[in-house]
Amino acid sequence: MITKSVFGNAIFSDKISVALGNVQFPEGPTNLYQPIRYILSLAGKRIRPQLVLLGADLFGDTPIDEVVPASVAIEYFHNFTLIHDDIMDKAPLRRGQETVHQKWNDDIAILSGDALLIKAYEQLAQCPAIVVPSLLKTFNKVALEVCEGQQMDMDFETREHVSKEEYVNMIRLKTSVLLGGALEMGAIIAGASNQERSKLYRFGENLGIAFQLQDDILDAFGDPATFGKQIGGDIIVNKKTILHILLKQELDVADFALFTTILEMPASKSESKIQQMKELYQKYAVLDKANALKEAYTRRAYASLDEIEVENRRKEDLFSLADHLMNRAR
């Protein structure tokens, strides 16, 4: 069962749900295909496949059926990364349900993830033959960068120091390039020029960075009623978020000692840990700095979309989606 999403353009959302629901996986081996059906049934917002359709729509009236397979490919790829990342992160839950490696085991999660990645390429191969080589190049580039980002994320966990630039580059690779790539693939199918494709890619890439920075900010400063996760979760596990990194580079000697003490506080004192860390964030105006950085990337994203030479009415859906993601009113 594919749960219907109402995120983004409603017509596109329906198309994606139908397309995802229509793909038949072989019955067996059960341990290979059942985990794939399972992860795809834990419907997320389906934002990435939307981006492919919106990217194509921006440049004209390409028949939607020529775009849908690339849109499904991107959603498959995203779910492949979730299966494998969850193994590496030892995550027990995904979208409120058991992760694949938890429900089955690591071996099955490795192999069904592999199969889902190949299934993504199978979808790509169903796009019009004339655009397949170009789609393949963009998809490969982005897919490899996502792997690089995931490796950096893991490397950063055990590293003493991570700079702001390194951190932004990591989130760019791990999450943002896929948003840019999804949009660009839509543009490729619609026959956009290289220049327009690049502008659209940069819109997605910068918006993705801004969104990820916002996620870091909300984890500490979000509204508990709407955030959906425990406020301060990142602080409890000493995650090197943008707030953590911006704070660390500003601390004076005395506060650095305090910072180190806070990092070493045990799980039993998490309330106090969160509070003390947030006091340091306030003292060093870290929230303002993080918000400024987020705004800079948001502006770059919007500017890039502005520059694309198509009628403004065609950009409405993408601006709305960006507003929605960045909690902006226009």
Q: Under the rule (CB under 8 A), what is the footprint of a second copy?
A: 26, 28-29, 31-32, 84, 87-88, 106-108, 110-111, 113-115, 117-119, 121-122, 124-125, 129, 132-133, 136-137, 139-140, 143-144, 147-148, 150-152, 154-155
Query: Which residue number, 86 or 205, has a Cβ lying nearer to a second copy?
Result: 86
CA–CA separation, 7 and 16 (whole Å)? 11
Which pair of tokens denotes residue 47?
Answer: 């934002």
Query: Which residue number, 84 or 289, has a Cβ lying nearer to a second copy?
Result: 84
Query: Which residue number, 89 or 317, has a Cβ lying nearer to a second copy?
Result: 89
CA–CA separation, 101 and 294 (whole Å)? 34
Q: For the chain, what is the radius of gyration of the CA atoms?
A: 21
Strands (E), the chain: 93-94, 97-98
Which pair of tokens denotes residue 170?
Answer: 């990591």
Q: Coil, strand or helix: which one is 251?
A: coil
> Closest approach of Cβ 253 to a second copy, in Å?
32
Given the DSSP bridges, would you call strands 97-98 and 93-94 parallel, antiparallel or unpaired?
Answer: antiparallel
The residue whose two tokens read 């950085």 is 293
Count of C-beta atoms within a 10 Å radius of residue 288: 12
> Closest approach of Cβ 138 to a second copy, in Å?
10
Task: Report phi then psi at 113, rounded to 5.
Answer: -60, -45
Nearest to 186 by CA among 63, 54, 61, 16: 54
> Closest approach of Cβ 136 to a second copy, in Å?
4
Question: Amino acid letter at 53?
Answer: L
Query: Which residue number, 31 or 282, has a Cβ lying nearer to a second copy?
Result: 31
> Closest approach of Cβ 52 to a second copy, in Å?
18
Query: Which residue number, 116 or 210, has a Cβ lying nearer to a second copy?
Result: 116
Which pair of tokens denotes residue 94?
Answer: 């995904």
> Closest approach of Cβ 258 to a second copy, in Å?
32
> Closest approach of Cβ 111 to a second copy, in Å?
6
Query: Which residue number, 119 or 172, has a Cβ lying nearer to a second copy?
Result: 119
